[in-house]
Structure 1
Amino acid sequence: MASMITENGTFTLMPQPKDHQFKYALSAAVAVEIILVLGLVWYGQTTPPPPVIKPKEHVIAVQVVSLPPPPPKVIPQPKPVPPKPVVQHMTPPPPRPHPRVVIPPKPVPVPTPPVKTVTPPAHKPVPVPPAPPVPPKPVVTPPPAPPPLSAAQTASLMGRYVGLLRPMIQQNLHVPAELRAMGLKGKATVQFEVSPSGKVLWAKIIDPSPLSAVNRAALAAVESGSFPPFLKKMPKQNTIFQIPVEVGARSN
């Protein structure tokens, strides 16, 4: 039902036509549902149950196999240790002594005389007679070498030569002013090497004096000396000498 208000203000109820349709549709739906339920019940009674399928039985074949015995264990053998080599220590040979180098004296240059040029005369040259044949030079046989000197002879020659050097060193000695003023003196041994020509190659103090002025004066006297050449029979090689030099207020 539906209510409606008119222009006069009255309230009326009007029937609704859709209520009859709803009832018919509901009744039809209930009838259909009942029919479906009855059909299901009837189908369940008339249909036989499905056959039961038995599961297949699985047969497993087991075979016993005997395993071979394990191989025997191999014990490794220790490797042989090689013997240690024997090292032989060799003693090195003693060093060879260094030979002394002998410095030969420098040759004295010989002055060459001037060559005179001769101007030929204007006239005809006079024929020059042939020069006489030059006689062959006689063969000169060198004298035999002298026998070597003994140790005593060599020592005697060295002593004679040192006797020549001592006064020459004292003559070349210059006493410092401080030693003269204080009246001091001293001695220093000088070692020096002389060539066969009498040249001093080097010099040094081997036994010094407590006074440095004495050492300087003794060394300067040897280094500035001009010594004579070696004696005739002395060995022609550089020789080392040791001479003590006295330096004082009364040295020269």
Structure 2
Amino acid sequence: MTTTMSSATNYSLMPEPKERHFKYAVGGAVSVEVLLVLGLVWYGHIRPPVNAVKPKEHIIAVQMVTLPQPPAKVVPKPLPKPVPPKPVVHHVTPPPPRPHPKVVIPPKPAPTPPVKTATPPTPTPKSVVTPAPKPLVTPPPAPPPMSAEQAASLMGRYVGLLRPMIQQNLHVPAELRAMGMSGKATVEFEISPTGQLLWAKIIRPSPLSAVNRAALAAVKDGGFPPFLKKMPKQNTVFQIDVEVGAGSS
């Protein structure tokens, strides 16, 4: 039993080969770390300080421009004041003084007696005779207006004067006399109060043109009398039937 225990104890005290390698590895690692720390400390003392990085400066280009100077104000020079010409002095010799005239005081006239003047008599004004006013002459009253029957009778009387005159002026054409034909045409015409023919025309013609020409020519020959005394004094239009034929004069 004693031998067994001693052998067991010796076994526990002697390390195995693997454990020795592990210890060596740990010791080497520790020494390496110590060297690294010492190297870093030494490098920190030797390395120059790192300059801080300066930020980039922004450069702004400024160009200096010289502005043109404003034109100088031209102040007009004041015009020189005209120098008035020197007055020309004419030396005139004064005339010699005239002698003072002697004043002669006339003697006082003797008082004359007052003369009485006769005043002419004032003429008495003549009485002005005013002419007596002329009596007013009233015109005669206008005649009463003519009735229609009186006007018609006057027109009938005047037309009765015109018919024979137109028949006297009528000239029957030879062709109507040769053929023994006749006809009637109504002529309308206007006459002034003095009997002057103003115009004439056929209003109801005949189928025969020779009858129309002869009737119109008989009216246009004119020579009518003036209006009757009581007829209205204004131009009047008349219508007369003129018969033209072989039996007419």
Give the TM-score, by structure 1 length: 0.44
Larger Cα-atom Rg: 2
TM-score (norm. length: structure 2): 0.45
Q: Which has the higher helix share?
A: 2
